[in-house]
Amino acid sequence: MRNFSLMIMGEVKRPGMVEVPKSGSFFEIFTSMGGFNPRAATSKVRLTRKGQTVVLDMRNLMADGSIKLVGAGKGIVDGETVKAEPGDILVVEQN
């Protein structure tokens, strides 16, 4: 896979475009952005992919790298193996 960037908006230390590592790991992406702000609603991070939006629970992302899919959305992403894809937009709301 070639290099690409994605947009992260909201309650992160350094919002904006970030280059995605070859692994596609959201842990690596958020680490490179400085992590979440203290008021970030990490249990309801919105991922928009190919015109569809799902909610991801990233409360444990910085601790153990885990992400859970909240509600429907199977087929769009798999919470167990979710990786960044070209065109993704992440929005971290304020708690």
pLDDT digits (tens, 9 = 90+) for 52-61: 999 999 999 8
Residue 4 half-sphere exposure toward CB, CA atoms < 13 A? 14
Measured CA distances, 92 to 1, 2, 15, 22, 62 (Å): 26, 26, 10, 23, 14
Contact 55, 46 (CB under 8 A): yes
Q: What pTM was estimated for this model as a whole?
A: 0.88
Amino acid in position 38:
P
Question: How many other β-carbons are positioned within 10 Å of the β-carbon of residue 65?
Answer: 13
pLDDT at 2 over 80: no
